[in-house]
Amino acid sequence: MSKYITTPIYYVNGEAHIGHAYTTFIADTMTRYEKLKGNYTYFLTGTDEHGQKIEESAQKHGKPTQEFADEISATFKDLWDEFEIGYDKFIRTTDADHKLGVQKAFEVMYAKGDIYKDFYEGHYCVSCETFFPETQLIDGEFCPDCGRTTSVVKEESYFFKLSKYEDALLRHYEDNPDFILPRSRANEVKNFVKGGLRDLSVTRTSFTWGVKLPESMNDDKHVMYVWLDALMNYITALGYGKDDANMDFWPASMQLVGKDILRFHAIYWPAFLMSLDLPLPKHIGAHGWWTRDGEKMSKSKGNVISPKEVSDAYGVENLRYFMLREVPFGQDGDFSQRAFIDRINSELSNDLGNLLNRIIGMSEKYSDFEIDSVDVEKYHAKELEAMNEALGNLDGFMQNMQTHRYLEELWKLFAIGNKAIEEHAPWVKIKEGKKDEALATVALVANILAKASIMLSPVMPRTTATIADALNFTIDNASFNELVIDKKLLKLFNIKKVPPLFPRVEEPLIEEAPKSMPDDKPNDEMKQELAAKKEAKLTKSEEDNLIEIGQFFETSLKIGVVVEAEEVPKSKKLLKLQVDLGEGKNRQVVAGIKEFYSAESLINTQVCVVANLKPAKLMGMISEGMLLAAKDEDGLCLVRPEKPKKAGTPIG
C-alpha cells in the first residue's frame, strides 16, 4: 500500500520557528510509522516563495527577490536535514517543473470554463495574500485574520468559479466525516461554505513575482495568485504537468496544515482538484498553534522559539518527543521549559532510560549479559497480555493523529516493566535460588524494551536505534512483524552496555522568555508603571479573598476517566460524558466544551472532576460533577494529570 504525506510549504518571509518544526515532526513521524508497517511512502515538504509579501520583504532587505527566497528556503532545508527529516522531495515554488505544472492546471481549468477574466475591486491583505469583502473586515478596514490594515485594490483579474463547487464540497464533507481532522475543525469549514462562496481571484497584475500565465493565454501582464500557485505543489511534486512520474501516490493520505490555513486547504484545494478531475486527499489534518509560557509568540515580544536553539540545548529527539506528547492534535500547545524538563526527567530518563540501565545491570550480574526468553511465558503471562493489549491500541491512535495518546499508551509498557521488576524482585529470587524466575523477569523487560522501541522509533529514531543495538536486533519492518504483529519474543542474545540515554536536566538550558509587555510602550516606562501598580495594591482586599485550608478541603477533586462521550443534540456547546471516578458506577457530567473538544477525542482520556457538587440540570439532563478547565483568549483546555492515575484518585 502506498502513502503520500505532506506538510504545507513554508512561506519564506522568515526563518523556521517552533510551529514549522511541529508540523514537520508530525509528518516525519507518520512517514516513519508507515514505512515501519511496510507501506511504500512519499513525504513532501518545501517552501512557498511567490507573492507580493515576498517581493516586499526582499526589498526591505535590499536583495533581489530570487536571492532572498534562495537564502530563506535554504535555512528550512538545512534545518530539516540537520534534524534528519526523511522527506522524499523538498519542493520550491520557484522550481521550473512546479511552474510548468501550475500553468498546465490553469489551462485545464480555463478550457473547462472554470476560469474567466473580469475586474476585481476589494480589500486586500498583503500579509494573508487574501481578498476580503467589506462585511468581514474589522471596523471596515482591518483584516479579520491577522488584524493588519487592508488596501483597496482594483485591477483586472482571472477568477476561478469557486461558487460552482459549493454543493459538491458540502456533499464531500458529509460523505467523508474524517476528511478534516480533528473532526471538531470541520464545522468552521462547513459553516463558511454554507455562508456562500464567492468566485476567487487567482491572478494579479500589480506585482510581478509569481508564476506567469501559460503562453497559450497570450496575457503576460498577469501572475498567478499565491494560493493557486502554492496549493498545486502537492501534485507538481509528483510530476503533474511534466511526466506524472509519481502521480500513482495521489491522492494524498494525509495533508498536514496549521489551523490558520485550513480554509484554503479544505475549500480552495478540493475545489481546484474537482475542476482538474483529480481525486481529493483522504485527510486534511489541522493542528493548533504554539504559545510560550502561556503567551502568544511574536518578534516584538522577543519570545519566538528557535527550534535549532532548543535542539542544540536539549537534543532534537527530546524536542520531538515533547512536542508530540505534550498537546492533543488540533489544540493549541504551550512550550514551557519547565514542562519540557519534567518530561525529560520523568518519562524519558526515569521511565525509559533507567529501565534499560537496570536490565543491563541485572543481566551483567546474574547471567554475564546473556538474555534468554525461554521462561518468560511461563512466569509472566499476565504482563505479556497487558503489553500486547497496549501495543494493539497504538495503530488507531496514530491513524487518528492522536500522537499524545499514542505515546501515553506506549508508556504503559514501561510502567509494566518497572512494576514487574518491583513485584518480582529478581535480586530476591537469586538469593532464594530461583534463578530461572529471576532471569525470566529480566528477559520479560528486555522484550518490553524491544517492542516499545520499535513503536517509539517513528518518534525517536536515533534513541531507539541505540536501544535496539543494545538488545542486539534491528528496527525494521521484519522486526515489527515478528515482535509486534506476530507477538514473538527475542531469541537468545547478549545485551550490550550503553551510556545513559537521557541525562537528567536540573536547570533550563536556554534563556527564558522575557516577561510580556505591551509593544507600544518603552520597557523602562512599563517597569515603573508595573512597580507602581504593585505597590498600590490594597493588602486588605487580598486578605479578603483568602480562604482557610479547611475551606479548600471541603471541595472534593478527583481524577476521572471518560468512558463514553456524545454530543448533546441542539446544543452548540454541550457534551454528555460518562466518567469513571472509581465508585463502581459511572457519573454523568454535562460539560460546555464542545467548541474545543470532539466527543471522540475524549474517550479513554483522564480529566479532573469536582466530585461533591450537588447534581444540576442542564437542558433537562442531570450533571453530577464539573470538569476543571482553563480558558483565555486562545481558547479552553481541560486540566489533566501529568501522568495517568487510577480513576478516583483524590487531588489535593
Q: Is the peptide bond before 8 cis (omega within 30 degrees of 0)?
A: no
Cell of 376: 518468560
Q: Are 649 and 598 in contact (CB under 8 A)?
A: no
Contacts (Cβ under 8 Å, ≥6 apart) of 303: 292, 293, 295, 297, 513, 514, 516
- Backbone φ, ψ for residue 218 (5° rounding): 50, 50
Of 572, 645, 573, the C-alpha closest to 609 is 645
Measured from the Cβ of residue 618, the count of other Cβ atoms closer than 10 Å reads 16
For 182-339, list the strands marked E by DSSP: 200-201, 203-204, 223-224, 254-258, 284-287, 290-292, 295-296, 333-335
> Is 146 marked as a binding-site residue?
yes
Spatial distance between the Cα atoms of 416 and 382, rounded to a whole number of angstroms? 10
Per-residue DSSP letters for 3-28? Answer: EEEEPPPEETTS---HHHHHHHHHHH
Q: Which of 642, 608, 640 is CA-nearest to residue 625?
A: 608
Cα distance between residue 209 and residue 52, in whole Å:
7
Joined together, the cell numbers standing for residue 211 give 508564476
143 is in an annotated binding site: yes
Give CA–CA dist 277/275, Å, rounded: 5
Cis peptide before 279 (omega within 30 of 0): no
Closest-CA residue to 73 (of 158, 157, 11)? 11
Q: Helix 354-367 to helix 461-470 angle, to the nearest 10 degrees? A: 10
Neighbours of 350 (CB within 10 A): 15
Of the candidates 17, 553, 621, the one whose C-alpha atom is nearest the C-alpha of residue 303 is: 17
d(C-alpha 151, C-alpha 556), whole Å: 56
Residue 125 to residue 265: CA distance in whole angstroms: 19
Exposure class string for 553-566: b at 16+ Cβ within 10 A, else e = eeeebbbbbbeebe
Is the four-CA dihedral 63, 67, 72, 75 of positive or negative sign? Answer: negative
Positive or negative, the CA dihedral 465, 469, 471, 477 is: positive
Binding residue ranges = 125, 128, 143, 146
Binding residue ranges for Zn(2+) = 125, 128, 143, 146
